[in-house]
Amino acid sequence: MQDVLIIGAGFSGIAAGKKLHEAGKSFLILEARDRIGGRVYTKRWEDGFYLDLGGQWIGPTQDRMYELCQEFGIDYFETYDTGKNLLDLNQRIRSFSGLIPKMDIISLVNLDWLMKKMEKMAASIDPISPWSHPKAKEYDSISLEAFISQNCKTKACKKVIRLACETVFASEMNEISLLHALFYIRSGTDLNTLVSIKNGAQLHRIQGGMGSVAERMCKPFENSILFSHAVSSVKQSDDSVTVFTENNSFTAKKLIIAIPPPLAAKINFNPILPANKRQVMDRIAMGQVGKCFMVYKKPFWRDKGFSGQVLADEHSPFQTLFDASPKDGSMGIILGFTIAERCRAYFKLSKENRQKAMEKQLVSYFGPEASNPTRYEDFTMTDEAWSRGCYAGLYPTGAWTGFQDAYRATNGHIHWAGTEAATRWFGYIEGAVLAGEKAATDIVLALADTGD
């Protein structure tokens, strides 16, 4: 019998495995896919070209990610952030510098006031227990959409805050409760950090791709990862847990579940999990985002004084675009994020038409050179059976106050990890690592208590 079984070889499962390995515990990681990384996916082509199709950025206060990079000697570099940004609003394209786009004065004042208001509200939330806030019920009874609508006095202000929120949460604003939005902001430090490159969550990219961090982390125990082992059911007894895959079963003293909540909800548990856990798992839905990459011989927009960053309203398939070129600028890559409704509409098109749509958009921003790409790639985890969406699980109205910490609570020998079990950097890779490490540490301590 193993000490521990882990379901999922994403960052959370791997971080748990790393801790258990260091503590000398025996364990197996059961992974449904034929690769590690989960929502982090560095795809490498035969010609050496690679792209981060899933999570790619780290930034200040994501301390574990920087520690891991240091531990493994992994280089990271700053996201290109020099030159004019563009705002594509009401079919007019305007340039601006810094974080806040140029708009009419009333919209600017409104936007500044609203962002400060959200910062203040989020700062008052305890990320360990968002339901304990004196106004938790009030905040959890309305959607982020309702709150934004109440507080935006101009259409332009609403459009800009909408596309910032859609980019941060990877959802429509009516899909999440205001309390979840405030918790998410607080758990990732503050709104300014979440939306920024400079001093923000988009500051650094990993040389060689984010996948290389996961690969280095699990190198010492790579033989303990069993691929194509999708877990379909879990049976718990007084002193052990057995998990079942299509052709095998495995037993251990403890189990860590490190998978997205909607996939955990599909596992058959015997005995049945407590009602609160089942109910909250059934409510947490995944966000939806597509990453689209247009590749050029060189980052030509830089010579024209553009940063490559664009904020665009619903006339564009993309809420936001970034310069995602390699560190040495040896080629130019523009990355577009298409989110929620725009993502659903975009991926209905054929790949050829998606490329055409992105090209058209980029020509309007950066000029005719944009019509000469060398390559186009796109990807959405929404279509992946073992992710079903991204960046993360979203709490709708009533879920935080109704079920509190039910999702991350231990159930007998079953411990819960994954970024959705994190209190710090929920939804991010940092959160996944912290939650995996916590589950593993709790288990090491519990096993020590029983003399194991």
Ligand X SMILES: Cc1cc2nc3c(=O)[nH]c(=O)nc-3n(C[C@H](O)[C@H](O)[C@H](O)COP(=O)(O)OP(=O)(O)OC[C@H]3O[C@@H](n4cnc5c(N)ncnc54)[C@H](O)[C@@H]3O)c2cc1C
Instruction: Name the nearest CA neighbour of 342 among 362, 299, 312.
Output: 312
> 158 or 354, CB closer to ligand X?
354
Contact 275, 24 (CB under 8 A): no
- Residue 48 buriedness (CB in 10 A; 0-12 / 13-18 / 19+): exposed
Report the b/e string of 191-216 with b at 16+ CB within 10 A.
bbbbbbbeebbbbbbbebbbbbbbbb
Q: Using the rule CB under 6 A, which residue among 5, 168, 176, 429 binds ligand X?
A: 429
Binding of residue 393 to ligand X (CB under 6 A): no
- DSSP code, position 14: H
| Contacting ligand X within 95-124 (CB under 6 A) | none
Strand (E) or helix (H) holding 122? helix 105-123
Binding of residue 231 to ligand X (CB under 6 A): yes
Q: Is 12 annotated as contributing to ligand binding?
A: yes
Contact 337, 309 (CB under 8 A): no
Q: Using the rule CB under 6 A, which residue among 392, 394, 399, 439 binds ligand X?
A: 392
Binding of residue 319 to ligand X (CB under 6 A): no
> 32 or 103, CB closer to ligand X?
32
Q: Is 293 annotated as contributing to ligand binding?
A: no
x/- map, 267-306, ligand X, by CB under 6 A? x---------------------x-x---------------
The span from the CA of 130 to the CA of 144, in Å, is 15
Binding of residue 418 to ligand X (CB under 6 A): yes
E strand spans, 342-450: 375-380, 393-394, 414-416
The span from the CA of 406 to the CA of 108, in Å, is 40
- Minimum Å gap between C-beta 330 and ligand X is 22
Binding of residue 213 to ligand X (CB under 6 A): no
Binding of residue 57 to ligand X (CB under 6 A): yes
- Minimum Å gap between C-beta 266 and ligand X is 7
Binding of residue 215 to ligand X (CB under 6 A): no
- Minimum Å gap between C-beta 351 and ligand X is 17
Binding of residue 321 to ligand X (CB under 6 A): no
Phi, then psi, of 152 in degrees rounded to 5: -100, 125
Contact 175, 344 (CB under 8 A): no
Instruction: Name the nearest CA neighbour of 369 among 306, 309, 299.
Output: 299
Q: Using the rule CB under 6 A, which residue among 25, 27, 51, 54 binds ligand X?
A: 54
Binding of residue 226 to ligand X (CB under 6 A): no
Which residues of this chain interact with ligand X, rule CB under 6 A? 7-13, 30-33, 38-40, 54-57, 230-231, 258-260, 263, 267, 289, 291, 381, 386-387, 390-392, 418-419, 427-430, 432
Annotated binding site for FAD: 12, 31-32, 231, 420
